[in-house]
Structure 1
Amino acid sequence: MADITAAMVKDLREKSGAGMMDCKKALGETSGDMDAAMDWLRTKGLAAAQKKSSRTAAEGLVGVATSGTIGAAVEVNSETDFVAKNDQFQSFVREVTHIALATGADAEALKAQAMASGTTVAEVLTNNIATIGENQSLRRARQLSVSQGAVVSYVHNAAAPGLGKIGVLVALESAAGDEVLQGLGKQLAMHIAAAFPKALNEADLDEAEIERERAIATEKALAEGMKPEFAAKRVEGSIAKYRKEHALVSQLFVMDGKTKIADVVAKAGKDAGAPIVLADYVRFQLGEGIEKEVGDFAAEVAAASGVPQKPKDDQPAS
């Protein structure tokens, strides 16, 4: 059996990010072969990742990056907010965001892309799960681009530059100067972060969602005793209001509460002497749509300590 030195263990630990005892065992299992030990750790890391994969990951970070006429947004989830403060996790999200910026790949395609280390995004993510100790997932990614103009980014609740809980991209098609587009784009992005539009235009709204709203409004009107013909008119009025409130271009600008976004963009173009088109946007909010598990922290602590917990008033003792 090869003599495993402290220097070898230290070297493997620095390369892999794994724990000291795991590195020592890996070297012992592979007779001191560093590459084989790395593979051994990755194999064990994969097993660890599979065990953690059933745990809900609704925290993490949203990353945004731009380069002139191109921008990208990525969401990477973890189980707890603590991981979002981890340098290893932040570096991973930042690099993946820039890969999305360069390639335009969606989340699934991104997993096969190579990182600076030479390994794929999926492989690095698996190793991160093993070394950080939490389930993590690359949930979504999107790239925006314009032929002329700018894509502007904004991060709300930033944990680090370009990383936070809400990431927004705004694509502006125009021949106007970059200073004008950056200023307008930043204001629009802040509006989008706050107002949460569901689509760019009214025609782009999800018709299934519109029908749900129509059914709710109809049931409410009939329950109030309105005649069907009058109820139908009120329902259509409610739907028209819903469309205006949830389509970005018809929303009222949060900065003044009275000007439609379409008019804000039109005025900016007129002042700049060049038309500006709000071509598209992206709004990623961390954990949006993920059903989070609600745990009983006291019960978890009691279970871990082996101390039996007293039943609550409305629950019989077992």
Structure 2
Amino acid sequence: MTVTAQMVKELRESTGAGMMDAKRALTETNGDMEAAVDWLRTKGLAKAAKKADRVAAEGLIGVAVSNGKGVAVEINSETDFVAKNADFQALVNEVTNVALTTGNDIEVLKAAHLNGKPVYEVINEAIARIGENMTLRRMHILEGDTIVSYVHNSVGDGLGKIGVLVALKGPADKAQAIGRQFAMHIAATAPLSLSEATLEPSILERELAVQTAKALEENASSAKPKPEQVIHNNIIPGRMKKFLAENTLLGQAFVINPDLTVEQAAKEAGVEITGYARVMVGEGIEKKEEDFAAEVAKALQG
């Protein structure tokens, strides 16, 4: 597979690696972006990549909470200009409130009624009225004894670029008091899961493979190599423990008080975090890079 300059650019931006290192990684992995990231990490040339940060879609996240149930809904637009439109914001608010009455199924939400019409029809009418394509992309429902919400980069009540929901068990007043702090923490750190038990096995397997290859390679090139038993019994488990502490919510250092983990902070407050959701506009959508000059040239050629 031909390694293009755009591929090298994307890999550099997502890993912080140098240009030649990025190019070599892509060459060694036949252009596989994920494998190239792992190759760079094995060589100690890149930081861990949690999730793709390439955000293409514009739009808003709407959040709403009622009676122990919280919902986060993403509606995309083509431009950020439309996301600032009062008509669009009202639409996101209304659809989010409807989502509180549906199950956790985007198709059910699209068919649910809003002002006497199916939600999808209301969105189509907004597309015709505002003049820009819009997509009801996804929703997430969270239930618990107490649900606390937070929106980052807020443009209005319950509207922003990142929506967070946190479910807590314990006295409602205590849960409400510290829940917003936990929600802000989640917005900032984007944990991969609540705990090790809820982390996708494939993520752990991939990280273990990277850390094993990295530790063995570092040991092989060391002036004083350690016995392989030390590598497998001490160094690799230590690195995996660090990975879990950095990427699971309960294991992370609490941003408000880094001397405590989030789990410890919750215990001190007399509550337990039972679940969370973090939804960011455009997350996971890769932006197609447009070559405007080539596009114009193509149009001129008919």
TM over 0.5: yes
| 1:246 pairs with 2:247 | yes
Deviations 1:129-164 (Å, cap 9, x if unpaired)?
A: 333333321111122222x4x211101001111111
**Structure 2 stretches lacking a partner, 5+ long:** 1-54
Q: Which residue of 1 aligns with 2:140?
A: 142
Identity of aligned residues (%): 47
Q: Which has the larger radius of gyration?
A: 1
Looking at structure 2, the residues matched to 96 and 210 of structure 1 have their Cα atoms a distance apart, in angstroms, of 36
Aligned CA distance change for structure 1 residues 161 and 296 (closer, same or farther; 3 Å): farther
Residue of structure 2 equivalent to 1:236: 237
Specify the code of the residue in structure 2 equivalent to 1:121: V
How many residues end up aligned between the 2 structures? Answer: 240
The answer to whether the Cα contact below 8 Å between 2:102 and 2:108 also exists between their aligned partners in 1 is: no
Paired residues of 1:205 and 1:243 also in contact (CA < 8 A): no
Residue type matched to 1:110 in 2?
L
Which residue is equivalent to 2:24?
A: none
Asked if 1:160 corresponds to 2:161, the answer is no
> How far is 1:202 from its partner?
1.1
Map of 1:169-248 to 2, 5 A cutoff?
169-174=165-170, 176-178=171-173, 180-224=174-218, 225=220, 228-233=228-233, 234-248=235-249
Other structure's SS at 1:159 match: coil
Q: Following the alignment from structure 1 to structure 2, what is the Cα–Cα distance between the partners of residues 249 and 57?
A: 30
Matches within 5 A, 1:43-192: 58-116=57-115, 118-146=116-144, 148=145, 150-174=146-170, 176-178=171-173, 180-192=174-186
Matched residue SS, 1:186? helix
User: Alpha-carbon deviation of 1:231?
Assistant: 3.3
Contact 1:172 1:277 in 2 (8 A): yes
| Structure 2 residue 285 is the aligned partner of structure 1 residue 290 | yes
1: CA distance, partners of 2:247 / 2:258: 15
Task: Give the superposition deviation at 1:292.
Answer: 1.1
1:207-250 per-position Cα deviation (integer Å, ceiling 9, x unaligned): 10111111111221222215643432322221121112111111
Q: 1:162 to 1:223 in 2, by over 3 A?
A: same
The TM-score normalised by the length of structure 2 is 0.73
The answer on whether the counterparts of 1:100 and 1:142 sit within 8 Å (CA) in structure 2 is no
Identify if the C-alpha distance between structure 1 residues 303 and 95 changes in structure 2 by more than 3 Å, giving closer, same or farther: farther
Relative to the length of structure 1, the TM-score reads 0.70
Cα-to-partner distance string for 1:95-130 (whole Å, 9 max, x where unaligned):
1111111223421210110001x1111112222233
Structure 1 residues 88 and 255, CA gap change in structure 2 (3 angstroms): same
Look up the SS of the partner of 2:288 in the other structure.
coil
Task: Letter of the 1:292 partner, please give it.
Answer: K
Counterpart of 1:279?
274
Q: How do 1:2-81 residues align onto structure 2 when only pairs under 5 Å count?
A: 58-81=57-80
